[in-house]
Structure 1
Amino acid sequence: MSRICHLNLARGYRGGERQTELLIRELARRGVAQRLIARRGQPLAERLVDLSDLEIVPVRKPFAMRVTSVRGAVLHAHETRAAQLAWWRWRVAGTPYIVTRRIGKRPSANVVTRAIYRDAAACVGVAGSVAREIADYAQRDVATIYSALSDLPVDRGRSQALRKRWGDAFVVLNVAALVDAQKGQSHLIEVARRAASERPGMHFVLAGAGRDRTAFERQARGLANIEFAGFVDNVGDYLAAADAFVLPSRHEGIGGAALDAMRAGLPVVASAVDGLPEFVDDGRNGLLVPPGDENTLFNALIRLRDEPELARALGAAGQSTAARFSVARMADAYQALYARIADV
Structure 2
Amino acid sequence: MVMKICHVNLASGYHGGENQTLQLIKQQVALGYELTVVANPKSPFIEAVRQLPCRVISASHYFHAHGAKITAGYDLVHVHEGRAIYWALIQKLLHGTPYIVTRRIDNPLKKKWLANLAYHQASAVVGLSGDIVAKIHQAYPALVTHKIPSSPVTYPSDDSTVSDIHKRFEHRFLVIHAANMLQHKGFDVTIEAARILQESNPKIHFALLGDGKARPDLENLAHGLTNITFCGQQSNMGSWFAAADLQVHPSYTEGLGSVILEGLNSGLPVVASRTGGIPDIIEDKISGLLIEPGDSQALADAILTIQSNPELKDSLCTGAQQKLTTFRIEHTAQRYQDIYQTIKSSL
TM-score bin, normalised by smaller chain: over 0.9
Once the two structures are superposed, residues 194-224 of structure 1 have per-residue CA deviations (whole angstroms, 9 ceiling, x without a partner) of 2223321111112223332233223223323
Any residues of structure 2 matched to 1:101-140 within 5 Å, and which? 101-139=103-141, 140=143
The residue aligned with 2:266 is: 264
Once the two structures are superposed, residues 210-268 of structure 1 have per-residue CA deviations (whole angstroms, 9 ceiling, x without a partner) of 33223322322332322222222221111111011111111111112111211222111
Amino acid at match of 1:57: I
Unmatched tracts of structure 2, length 5 or more: none
Determine if contact 1:187/1:248 at 8 Å carries over to the other structure.
yes
Deviation at 1:2, TM superposition (A): 8.9
Once the two structures are superposed, residues 112-167 of structure 1 have per-residue CA deviations (whole angstroms, 9 ceiling, x without a partner) of 22222221011001112211221221112311111111122222222122112111
Unmatched tracts of structure 1, length 5 or more: none
Amino acid at match of 2:65: R
Any residues of structure 2 matched to 1:1-344 within 5 Å, and which? 3-51=4-52, 53-61=53-61, 63-68=62-67, 71=71, 72-139=74-141, 140-181=143-184, 183-342=185-344
Amino acid at match of 1:64: F
Once the two structures are superposed, residues 58-83 of structure 1 have per-residue CA deviations (whole angstroms, 9 ceiling, x without a partner) of 2224x313333853431111010111
User: For the residues of structure 2 that align with 1:65 and 1:43, how far apart are their CA atoms?
Assistant: 19
Instruction: Report the more deviating stretch, 13-22 or 318-327.
Output: 318-327
Instruction: Report the more deviating stretch, 85-94 or 242-251.
Output: 85-94
Determine if contact 1:260/1:322 at 8 Å carries over to the other structure.
no
Once the two structures are superposed, residues 293-320 of structure 1 have per-residue CA deviations (whole angstroms, 9 ceiling, x without a partner) of 1111121112112222222221222122
Once the two structures are superposed, residues 257-281 of structure 1 have per-residue CA deviations (whole angstroms, 9 ceiling, x without a partner) of 1112112221110101121112211
Q: TM-score, normalised by structure 2?
A: 0.92
- Find the residue that maps to 1:64 and give its secondary structure: coil
Instruction: Report the more deviating stretch, 258-267 or 235-244.
Output: 258-267
- Find the residue that maps to 1:167 and give its secondary structure: coil
Determine if contact 2:176/2:209 at 8 Å carries over to the other structure.
yes
Determine if contact 1:202/1:225 at 8 Å carries over to the other structure.
yes
